Amino acid sequence: MKSIYGITLEALEEYFVSKGEKKFKASQTFEWIYKKRIKSFDEFSNVKKDTIELLKKEFVFSKIKLVAKTSDTDVSKYLFELDDSNKIEAVLMNHDYGYSLCVSTQVGCNMGCKFCESGRLKKVRNLYTHEMVEQILAIEELENLRISHVVLMGIGEPFDNYDNVIDFIDIINCPKGIDIGARHITVSTSGLVPRIKDFMNHGKQVNLAISLHAPNNTLRDSLMPINRAYNLDMLFEVLREYIKKTNRRVTFEYILLDGVNDSKECAIELANLVKGMNAYINLIPYNETSHIEFRRTPQDRIMAFYDTLKKNKINVTIRREFGRDVKAACGQLRSNYEEAR
């Protein structure tokens, strides 16, 4: 049995047609589950009984289980348990423009970024589409609010779970589904070049963010093993192609690590790397963890790095810090929970 939350509108239309039904019944079904948030096929009051029985034979209403929640000012972090007892995290942030949810796409991660807590626990499996959708539905129900923005920056590398992630985006972006605007959805990748090429041809006006974190191959090799497979030359070649084809701006995420990548020389090198591109840099103060030796760059050097980029006419922002007291580093809540057990 498949979860009803894991099928796109187009796939559900094809399913109904294959069973000799009218495809508009897919829209009816989406209306009940995403607009009215009904959790039983028997409550579909304007749908024929035969159609309901057809749905019940093929689909179920699945639900992930909340295990733990921590909160701080304008941020809450949730630990969910899946049907196979694996754990994932989601983070809800309250911005002045609405509620943003950071969702996980995998159980664990194989990218091995040296500064990342979630990478300490290796990839167990990809999340299914419905397990990503349910992170949104569960938190909206629990907190009685509407999530307006989604970022795929939680545990896992989204483009290492490409097909399920694309279906997830289609479902949450669908006007008859959760109906989150494409430009309110951001996918972050460490730089899987072949999947970036696929993504540029997908056609959605979804934001692309690149986890960069170093301005040269030598440093990036030491921090992010993915760079040995797809180095900066390969990455920037495909990103220029992406920008030209989609006319979309790219975000470069750059975590500042004390004494590692936060020098003035690094800032100048970074400015030269991105100069002339339709892009901006999002500087991220590091969330320290007890398991990893990297430390947060002091505030005065964060500002010096920022000022150097600005003087070099680079569009740059400093990400607002959320939840330093709620184990907000990606994978930290899950890691601490497992170790406590």
335, 295 Cβ separation under 8 angstroms = no
Instruction: Record the tokens describing residue 224, joined without a space.
Output: 């992010």
């170093």: which residue's tokens? 214
Backbone angles phi, psi at 140, to 5 degrees: -60, -40
Closest by CA position to 280, among listed 292, 293, 271, 290: 271
CA 138 to chain centre: 16
| Annotated catalytic residue, options 13, 89, 157, 253 | 89
Torsion of CA 331, 335, 336, 337, to 10 degrees: 100
Cα–Cα distance measured from residue 236 to residue 148, given in angstroms and rounded to the nearest whole number: 30
| Annotated catalytic residue, options 102, 113, 116, 330 | 330
Instruction: Record the tokens describing residue 319, joined without a space.
Output: 């990400």
Instruction: Record the tokens describing residue 217, joined without a space.
Output: 């191959």
Cα–Cα distance measured from residue 136 to residue 87, given in angstroms and rounded to the nearest whole number: 16
Cα–Cα distance measured from residue 168 to residue 99, given in angstroms and rounded to the nearest whole number: 19
280, 249 Cβ separation under 8 angstroms = yes
What residues have CB less than 8 Å from 73, skipping those under 6 apart? none
170 CB-side CA count, 13 A? 19
Q: Which amino acid is at 330?
A: C
CA 125 to chain centre: 16
Reply yes or no on whether 330 is catalytic. Answer: yes
Q: Which active-site residues does the annotation give?
A: 89, 330
